[in-house]
Amino acid sequence: MSSCLVPRSTRILLMLILALVGSSLTSNLAAETRQSLVTADATVAASERQAVMGISRLGLEANRFTFPVFYTPHEGPTIPVGNWSVRISQEYADAILADNLSFIIPARYDRLVFENSQARFETATQVFSGLDVRQVIPELSQATRSYAEYREYLLDHLNHHIAPSMEEILGAAAEARYQEMNARERGTFITERARQTGMPAEVLEALISSSYAFGFYLPELRGRINIRQIERKRFDGSTYYVYQTTLAAPLKTRMLVYAFDGEQFTTQIELDAVPDGFFEGLSQQMSASASITTAWLPRERHAQQIFDDVFELSFKDSTIALSTRLKENRAFAVATPVIDATPEEIGLKVGNQEDIRVDQPFTFNRTIDGKETTIGWGRVRLAGNTCLILPEEERIASRAQLISGQVDEFDLAVEHPWTGVYGRTAFTQSMTELEIDGQATGAGNASFIELGFISNLGFLLNNRSFSEIWTNLDLGLGLLSNGEGNFDNLDGKGAIRVRFGAEKRFHMGYGLYASAGADLGYEQHNYAKPGGPSGLKDDFKVQTANLIPRAEIGYYINPNLKIYGGAAYNLPFYTDYEWDNGDSMTEDLSMMGGLSVQAGIAFHLGFAGPFASMMARPSTECEVLRDARLEAQAAEQAE
């Protein structure tokens, strides 16, 4: 087995330090230690690095999954056609886990890796390798288990094989970790005059008695396979059929957080990547779906290829979701006091070392009458370079913009758990109009209910150039107005609209923003009018491709919820139309451009869903820099 532990000063450590420091100053300070007197209390204390071990084996409930298969022939009803099975090998599952582990265990943590009879401890500035654990750590079993069995099995493994050597291993790195702590002693005799680190024993004891192990488990997958027969036309007008096979099987990965208290591990947190609500479900479905199109009717063996695609992306989405949920626990969220409260340039001493991305929201908290209260929030515009391997004077703090509320120097900025993705629903009234032979018909005004997703590209790509550029994907279902005057026998029916675009937002304070952007949209309008192929009133459809420049004003109620309204102009640049039976129409139809107005509400989603594939990996800049410096130091010493 190889398991990797990634440390960062632990929750217990944080709690200890906060407890030591937390009490107010009064004349009765006998219980306070010197360490507690020179370190910050919970109201302004920056979070500390924690020690975490990521167990690199993905527990499996089953290694063979069976999905029902449904077949939908062209213009025919969907029918069940049996079950297909796919397999997952432990090696493949572990490889996918290892590939995505950095989303959950980025450089903000110190890492411990156990291999055979040795351990390696990586802090932000040091790597301690070849630490003897005095026993060969047995490999974790590949047997499939229920969740409860796996949780106990892992706990037992940790307590029997890892816990006995933890104290010593944590002790070996304690000095290095102390030097990376925010709460280290400064300005005192020991640090200034004696020029010693002088790690207090109470901090050492906390460091060696606190760390975490992260385990992952994949419950049995549930999903379905749909095979759809699709008719296509060749250039000569002849038709042929292709088969689109789609597998939708969202991974509801579970995460176990075991806490080490100095003696043993206990299960502390259990998380799962189960969607909360319709939009999250829809979002997760989108990352958990893959399809292939074949010219032949697929067989069971083709399902494996689709499954592998689904598994990779859906697992990534589930790790993003788990990482976000983990940050809801304060012990795993980054916190730092505000060092500069200029609303457009709020200074925060966190950055790439803590995996802070562009546009990451932070809430600004203040302890008011004994209770921590959020008084404002903002988004990071410049993710700082805070690699601890750099000398303090070379580090660059992050800069954030106040979005809503207020902020003052030394308010506590707390990382807000965020995926950068919102679901949204809106009502849109589009004032487009259908023209027939150059005459306005009065039909074509569409009233849409839209469902969509919108994501922050700056955050997803972790790229400053894309800060506050949002990309959206919306689906609208609507009703059309009827014809008027000479066209009063023209009936407007349903409409469908899909649009994809981007916008740039400009925040104006008080939670308000304005945005400008454009979409590319596809709309299909269905109408009925006399003179059709049947000689009676027949249905026909008008399909248009539109360029939709738009502007929007929105208001954030909180970082997770906003309302917005806007106006857009539909500019059709391609129109196609035909009777529903496929016959061409003799008239000349076109859609006129028109204004549309929209009002909606958007809410944060815990899954990146359709945008999961775009999510850039956490920065490894600090680790690369650390390794390069350590190598250079080793080379210097060798000389």
Partner 1 sequence: MNLTIAIEREKQKMNTKFLAILFLAALLSACASTPESTTRPSDPPLSRQATLVESYSANEVMIRAVGLGNSMAEARDDARKAAIWFALMGGTNSLLTNAEQREAFRDHEAEFWANAMRYISHEGDLLSRRQEAGQDRIERAFRVNIANLKADLAARNIISDSRELAEAIANPVISVIARNPEGNDRHAASVFSEYLQDRGFEVVVLDATQRVDEIVQQAAALEGNIDPMYMLALQTGSDIYISIDSEVAERRVAGNRVAQSTVNATAYYTATGSQLGASSGYSAERAIAGGAALTGEAANDAADKVLGQLTRSWQREVQRGKAFKVVVNASPEIGDISRNLHQLFNDVCNRVRRNAAGSTSFDYTLNCDGPRDAMDLLILLEDNYIGPGQVFRVLDSGAFLIIRIGDSDTDSIIIE
C-alpha–C-alpha distance, residues 241 and 298, integer Å: 13
Of residues 167 and 627, the one with the C-beta less far from partner 1: 167
Among 11, 357, 366, 604, binds partner 1 (CB under 8 A): 366
Q: Provide the minimum distance between the beta carbon of 5 and partner 1 in the complex, in angstroms, as a whole number.
A: 16
Q: Which residues contact 177 (CB under 8 A, 6 or more apart)?
A: 7, 9, 49, 51, 110, 123, 207
Interaction between residue 129 and partner 1 (CB under 8 A): no
Of residues 376 and 420, the one with the C-beta less far from partner 1: 376
Q: What is the CB neighbour count within 10 angstroms for residue 235?
A: 5
Q: What six digits make up the tokens of 440?
A: 């306005």
Q: Provide the minimum distance between the beta carbon of 335 and partner 1 in the complex, in angstroms, as a whole number.
A: 13
Among 202, 261, 578, 621, binds partner 1 (CB under 8 A): 202
Interaction between residue 61 and partner 1 (CB under 8 A): no
C-alpha–C-alpha distance, residues 369 and 386, integer Å: 33
Segment lying near partner 1 (by CB under 8 A), choices 20-28, 47-55, 434-442, 504-512: 20-28
Among 66, 90, 367, 447, binds partner 1 (CB under 8 A): 367
Of residues 163 and 248, the one with the C-beta less far from partner 1: 163
Q: What six digits make up the tokens of 8?
A: 């960062």
Among 139, 409, 576, 583, binds partner 1 (CB under 8 A): 409
Among 1, 2, 15, 40, binds partner 1 (CB under 8 A): 40
Q: Do 445 and 480 touch, CB atoms closer than 8 A? A: yes
Of residues 168 and 578, the one with the C-beta less far from partner 1: 168
Bridge partner list, 110:
51
CA-nearest of 165, 169, 163, 138 to 57 is: 138
Q: Provide the minimum distance between the beta carbon of 509 and partner 1 in the complex, in angstroms, as a whole number.
A: 14
Interaction between residue 410 and partner 1 (CB under 8 A): yes
Among 61, 168, 309, 627, binds partner 1 (CB under 8 A): 168
Angle at 416 between CA 412 and CA 419, to 5 degrees: 160
Q: What is the CB neighbour count within 10 angstroms for residue 278?
A: 11
Q: Provide the minimum distance between the beta carbon of 201 and partner 1 in the complex, in angstroms, as a whole number.
A: 4
Among 280, 411, 468, 519, binds partner 1 (CB under 8 A): 411
Among 199, 273, 446, 622, binds partner 1 (CB under 8 A): 199
Interaction between residue 130 and partner 1 (CB under 8 A): no
Of residues 25 and 295, the one with the C-beta less far from partner 1: 25
Interaction between residue 302 and partner 1 (CB under 8 A): no
Of residues 26 and 586, the one with the C-beta less far from partner 1: 26
C-alpha–C-alpha distance, residues 590 and 438, integer Å: 8
Among 170, 350, 421, 571, binds partner 1 (CB under 8 A): 170
Of residues 22 and 68, the one with the C-beta less far from partner 1: 22
Q: Which residues contact 349 (CB under 8 A, 6 or more apart)?
A: 46, 336, 337, 339, 384, 386, 395, 397, 398
- SS3 annotation, 557-625: EECCEEEEEEEEEEEEEEEEEEECCCCCCCCCEEEECEEEEEEEEEEECCCCHHHHHHCCCCCCHHHHH
DSSP single-letter state for residue 384: B
C-alpha–C-alpha distance, residues 605 and 507, integer Å: 21
Chain centroid, CA 141 distance in Å: 31
Reported as type and span, the H/E element at residue 207 is: helix 201-208
Q: Provide the minimum distance between the beta carbon of 15 and partner 1 in the complex, in angstroms, as a whole number.
A: 17
In the three-class reduction of DSSP (H, G, I as helix; E, B as strand; rest coil), residue 164 is classed as helix
Q: Provide the minimum distance between the beta carbon of 118 and partner 1 in the complex, in angstroms, as a whole number.
A: 16
Q: What six digits make up the tokens of 2?
A: 């190889």
Alpha helices of 222-346 — where are they, by DSSP H?
Answer: 278-287, 300-326
Site string for partner 1, 304-343 (x = CB under 8 A): ---------------------------------x------
Among 149, 156, 192, 231, binds partner 1 (CB under 8 A): 192
DSSP 462-475: T-GGGTTEEEEEEE
CA-nearest of 487, 375, 481, 393 to 432 is: 481
Interaction between residue 261 and partner 1 (CB under 8 A): no
Segment lying near partner 1 (by CB under 8 A), choices 57-65, 134-142, 173-181, 320-328: 173-181
Among 3, 9, 35, 284, binds partner 1 (CB under 8 A): 35
Interaction between residue 187 and partner 1 (CB under 8 A): yes
Interaction between residue 21 and partner 1 (CB under 8 A): yes
In the three-class reduction of DSSP (H, G, I as helix; E, B as strand; rest coil), residue 5 is classed as strand
Interaction between residue 19 and partner 1 (CB under 8 A): no
Q: Footprint of partner 1 on residues 205-224 (CB under 8 A)?
A: 205, 208
Interaction between residue 25 and partner 1 (CB under 8 A): yes
Of residues 176 and 321, the one with the C-beta less far from partner 1: 176
Interaction between residue 301 and partner 1 (CB under 8 A): no
Q: What six digits make up the tokens of 33?
A: 């230690």
C-alpha–C-alpha distance, residues 54 and 544, integer Å: 51
Segment lying near partner 1 (by CB under 8 A), choices 181-189, 385-393, 482-490, 624-632: 181-189
Q: For helices 90-104 and 300-326, what crossing angle results, to 10°?
A: 30
Interaction between residue 463 and partner 1 (CB under 8 A): no
Alpha helices of 39-192 — where are they, by DSSP H?
Answer: 90-104, 147-157, 163-179
The footprint of partner 1 on this chain (CB under 8 A) covers a number of residues equal to 54
Interaction between residue 637 and partner 1 (CB under 8 A): no
Interaction between residue 184 and partner 1 (CB under 8 A): no
- SS3 annotation, 49-82: CEEEEEEEEEEECCCEEEEEEEEECCCCCCEEEE
Of residues 200 and 517, the one with the C-beta less far from partner 1: 200
Segment lying near partner 1 (by CB under 8 A), choices 110-118, 154-162, 365-373, 500-508: 365-373
Q: Provide the minimum distance between the beta carbon of 345 and partner 1 in the complex, in angstroms, as a whole number.
A: 18
Among 14, 174, 331, 615, binds partner 1 (CB under 8 A): 174
CA-nearest of 495, 498, 448, 456 to 473 is: 498
Interaction between residue 396 and partner 1 (CB under 8 A): no
C-alpha–C-alpha distance, residues 302 and 221, integer Å: 18
Q: Cα dihedral angle (35, 39, 42, 43), rounded to 10 degrees?
A: 150
Residues at the site binding partner 1, with contacts judged by CB under 8 A: 21, 24-27, 29, 32-35, 37-41, 43-44, 167-168, 170-172, 174-175, 178, 186-190, 192-194, 196-202, 204-205, 208, 337, 366-370, 408-412
